[in-house]
Amino acid sequence: MMFFLGEFCRQQNRLGEAEEWVRRSLTGHEKLCGLEYKLILALLSTLGQIYTAQNNLSEATVMLVQVLKGFDKVLSPNNLAVLKAVESLAFPYLSRGKLDEAEAMYERTLKGYERALGLEYEGVVQVTIHLSDIYSRRDKIAQSEKLLKRVMQGLEKIYGPDHTLTLHIVV
């Protein structure tokens, strides 16, 4: 129950309370189950997301690397929990200017999401936008433009050609 309270507080942007509830839940579950138990990894992932939201990017990176290593041991590489962990790790890398690491994480996430969910999934669109931004920052303009065209096609299929999100990409 503490985990759910922590997740609820995180969604409400009450990050201090969220961290407290998740840490309490994590401490209890670690004693019972060990670090490779899926629930422990979910708790660590939530804690990593809380650290990211608090702009504690070093701690977030450490936590999310641990989550990814654990998920890689107990789940298949294309499992959505693994892909979400990879995506969650990409943002702290990007925010810290570690473009090589962020690019690798977003590319892995994009390939996995495309296989698991298809091109018309909103999460695929978001990851594609982030990856396009990285390509643009690295002067990979042709690759960036190609991805933005894919984003536009995906948004047109999801929302239609006249939706504000689709029109935003066109501009």
Low-confidence ranges of the chain (pLDDT < 70): 1, 3, 29-36, 169-171
Contacts of 67 (CB under 8 A, 6+ apart): 41, 44, 45, 48, 85, 88, 89
Provide DSSP, 43-67: HHHHHHHHHHHTT-HHHHHHHHHHH
Distance of alpha carbon 23 from alpha carbon 42, whole angstroms? 12
Which pLDDT tens digit goes with each residue over 140-171?
A: 999 999 998 888 888 888 888 887 877 776 54
Calculate Rg over the CA atoms of the chain: 17
Residues 40, 30 contacting (CB under 8 angstroms): yes
SS3 category, 97: coil
Structure tokens at 170: 């066109």
Structure tokens at 169: 């990409």
Please tell me the predicted confidence (pLDDT) of residue 42. Answer: 84
Distance of alpha carbon 29 from alpha carbon 41, whole angstroms? 10
One-letter identity of residue 87: E
Please tell me the predicted confidence (pLDDT) of residue 169. Answer: 65
**pTM for the model:** 0.78
Max CA pair span of the chain: 53
Please tell me the predicted confidence (pLDDT) of residue 147. Answer: 92
